[in-house]
Chain A
């Protein structure tokens, strides 16, 4: 019975996910499908950061750097900039590997740091990467500086490109639809990876290290290796998301990889429920979709009620967003959908 029920839920959600872009596309328009595509990218990013912050307990404020490394790797290997056009099944794994290497590069000097100090150094690291991207156009033009890289190849499978609309049996299959399925498959891959890591010897070691580093090392855990592994694996999924982002957008510039993005991803993890995979997914989806809804609602709402714009919609959006975060952290600091363990930790902390 239980197994049947599980199978039922599984099939229902599979069908729901399969038809989602068409339902959304025909009712709300394709710009919303695009938003959903971004939500999937952010799910991948948030799950990657969750390995570092949620599982291993290492506060990382520069996670966007790995997204940037993945995106730039993909862009440089598939655009007219260097006139290299590698297929995606090479350049995306390469981007992920590059990001993982940068994860080690960040992880090595911060091995002894924790808490606020770690946060500051990782924040600096994120900024360094962005500034490098911004300035590596001279003396040799590698990243094309602030202009960014344009005309990045879309994903191509066989002879068929995901960058153009095609007709399948009378259906107009937009790029946003095709990317949706690609992102969905890879997101599911990242989810499975995160789940399996969590319930493994490695996942246990991360939790033990987060709870008591001295006891963990006295139990024979090699803290250095475990930390580096967390940084590298987190960066890996950040790199995959970055490569997909570059292909999807066709254009990247350093502007896309600022500090605010890092903070948004961290907010997704914290707001959703640190260390809890379903919670993190929820956090990423809510924090991608909610601002878009606000964008659509605030302007018309003001026109309707006051007859004129009182607050600039963009400012109002950020204001409401900030307010929601503050309220959330005051009333439910463990996040929207926390794991049992994390919830218990917060309850114990409250009791003192």
Chain B
């Protein structure tokens, strides 16, 4: 049995009368690519926001890599080793690509205001290390040629990659990607797939939300399906795709 990295159980999240997440449990193993799919409004992004601390769940438990992260604020979650990207890209638009990645290093560096003002040796060395690491990550995702370009001016595919580089800068154990292939052409999607496999092979577990079911079936080791805030199926892609409940959720009852 593989080692469990992330374990959430009995998670509930309500927004007024809307029960966005209803008793959801997920186990993600170390080193796998785990997919989360479901029709629009199923609660995928809510799940993501709970996992990354942007939303506080109402009930449940949440442990990650042996640490209890239930209701932990985002910076604690990131420090614990979960990094994310956003469905609608949220880069720091007026900063350069390089600076964006350098912001990602914040949590793994510690020079304070005093160090910055006095420009101590430690602070200077750390700053150089931050920059070197940022260059390395830009190369890793293949966009170091636009390092000094403002994020706003990058192409869509480049922005997606930059967001991944920025998330990787926090040295995550789990990289959570919210619809990374949305709006990409087939070529870009292929490249992205290759990048995700590279990330996984370098020891980072990947959690993925995606609409592109074909991509998910080919890429993920395991998939969970959400519908109306409930997990209706979980398992390897071949089994999940044949599950009548999944077919019903996606295509309506007539097809099941």
Which A residue's beta carbon lies closest to that of B150?
A344
A216 surroundings in chain B (CB, below 8 A): 92, 103
Q: In the bound complex, do residue A217 and residue B75 qualify as a contact, i.e. CB atoms below 8 Å apart?
A: yes
Complex Cα distance A344/B93, Å?
Answer: 10
Q: In the bound complex, do residue B166 and residue A219 qualify as a contact, i.e. CB atoms below 8 Å apart?
A: yes
A114 surroundings in chain B (CB, below 8 A): none
Given the known inter-chain contacts A196-B116, A207-B95, A220-B75, please indicate yes or no for A201 contacting B170, CB distance below 8 A: no
A205 within 8 A of B: yes
B95 surroundings in chain A (CB, below 8 A): 204, 207-208, 211, 341
Which B residue's beta carbon lies closest to that of A339?
B94
Which B residue's beta carbon lies closest to that of A208?
B103
A221 surroundings in chain B (CB, below 8 A): 75, 103, 106-107
Complex Cα distance A196/B123, Å?
Answer: 11
Which A residue's beta carbon lies closest to that of B126?
A201
Complex Cα distance A192/B117, Å?
Answer: 8
The size of the chain B interface, using a CB distance under 8 A, is 41
Question: Which residues, 225 to 239 on A, are CB-close (under 8 Å) to B?
Answer: 229, 233
Mark contacts of B88-107 with chain A using CB atoms, 8 A cut-off: 1 yes-contact digit, 0 otherwise.
00111111000100111111
Contact of B94 among A205, A211, A217, A220 (CB under 8 A): A211
A289 within 8 A of B: no
Name the segment of B4-12, B78-86, B223-231 touching the other chain: B78-86
Contact of B91 among A203, A215, A341, A345 (CB under 8 A): A215
B253 surroundings in chain A (CB, below 8 A): none
Question: Which residues, 101 to 135 on B, are CB-close (under 8 Å) to A?
Answer: 102-107, 109, 111-113, 115-117, 119, 123, 126-127, 130
Q: In the bound complex, do residue B103 and residue A205 qualify as a contact, i.e. CB atoms below 8 Å apart?
A: yes
Q: In the bound complex, do residue B106 and residue A219 qualify as a contact, i.e. CB atoms below 8 Å apart?
A: yes
Complex Cα distance A341/B151, Å?
Answer: 12
A197 within 8 A of B: yes
B52 surroundings in chain A (CB, below 8 A): 218
B83 surroundings in chain A (CB, below 8 A): 218-220
Given the known inter-chain contacts A201-B127, A212-B90, please indicate yes or no for A219 contacting B107, CB distance below 8 A: yes
B119 surroundings in chain A (CB, below 8 A): 196
B67 within 8 A of A: no
A324 within 8 A of B: no
A329 within 8 A of B: no
A214 within 8 A of B: yes
A202 within 8 A of B: yes
A193 surroundings in chain B (CB, below 8 A): 117
Q: In the bound complex, do residue B116 and residue A220 qualify as a contact, i.e. CB atoms below 8 Å apart?
A: no
B35 within 8 A of A: no
Q: In the bound complex, do residue B94 and residue A345 qualify as a contact, i.e. CB atoms below 8 Å apart?
A: yes
A200 within 8 A of B: yes
Q: In the bound complex, do residue B117 and residue A219 qualify as a contact, i.e. CB atoms below 8 Å apart?
A: no
B24 within 8 A of A: no
- How many A-B pairs with Cβ below 8 Å? 107
Complex Cα distance A150/B87, Å?
Answer: 62
Contact of A229 among B92, B113, B130 (CB under 8 A): B113
Q: In the bound complex, do residue B102 and residue A204 qualify as a contact, i.e. CB atoms below 8 Å apart?
A: yes
Which B residue's beta carbon lies closest to that of A193?
B117
Given the known inter-chain contacts A221-B75, A221-B103, A221-B107, please indicate yes or no for A197 contacting B92, CB distance below 8 A: no
A208 surroundings in chain B (CB, below 8 A): 92, 95, 103, 106
A204 surroundings in chain B (CB, below 8 A): 95, 99, 102-103, 106
A348 within 8 A of B: yes
Contact of B86 among A215, A223, A229 (CB under 8 A): A215
Contact of A218 among B84, B99, B109 (CB under 8 A): B84
Q: In the bound complex, do residue B150 and residue A219 qualify as a contact, i.e. CB atoms below 8 Å apart?
A: no
Within the complex, the shortest CB–CB distance from A187 to chain B, in Å, comes to 15
Which B residue's beta carbon lies closest to that of A194?
B117
Which A residue's beta carbon lies closest to that of B163?
A215
Q: In the bound complex, do residue B90 and residue A201 qualify as a contact, i.e. CB atoms below 8 Å apart?
A: no
Complex Cα distance A207/B99, Å?
Answer: 10
Complex Cα distance A233/B113, Å?
Answer: 9
Q: In the bound complex, do residue A201 and residue B92 qualify as a contact, i.e. CB atoms below 8 Å apart?
A: no
A200 surroundings in chain B (CB, below 8 A): 111, 113, 115-116, 123, 127
* Residue among B74, B91, B112, B113 facing the most chain A CB atoms (10 A cut-off): B113
A211 surroundings in chain B (CB, below 8 A): 92-95
Contact of A220 among B115, B127, B170 (CB under 8 A): B170
Can you list 5 contacts pairing A with B, beta carbon distance less than 8 Å? Answer: A201-B109, A208-B95, A211-B92, A220-B75, A220-B79
Residues of B within 8 A of A (CB): 52-54, 73-75, 78-79, 83-84, 86, 90-95, 99, 102-107, 109, 111-113, 115-117, 119, 123, 126-127, 130, 150, 152, 166-167, 170
With A196-B117, A207-B99, A208-B92 already in contact, 20 other A-B pairs whose C-beta atoms are closer than 8 Å: A196-B116, A197-B116, A201-B116, A201-B127, A202-B113, A204-B95, A204-B99, A204-B102, A207-B95, A211-B92, A214-B54, A218-B74, A219-B78, A219-B167, A220-B83, A220-B170, A221-B107, A229-B113, A344-B150, A348-B152
Residues of A within 8 A of B (CB): 192-193, 196-197, 200-205, 207-208, 211-212, 214-223, 229, 233, 341, 344-345, 348
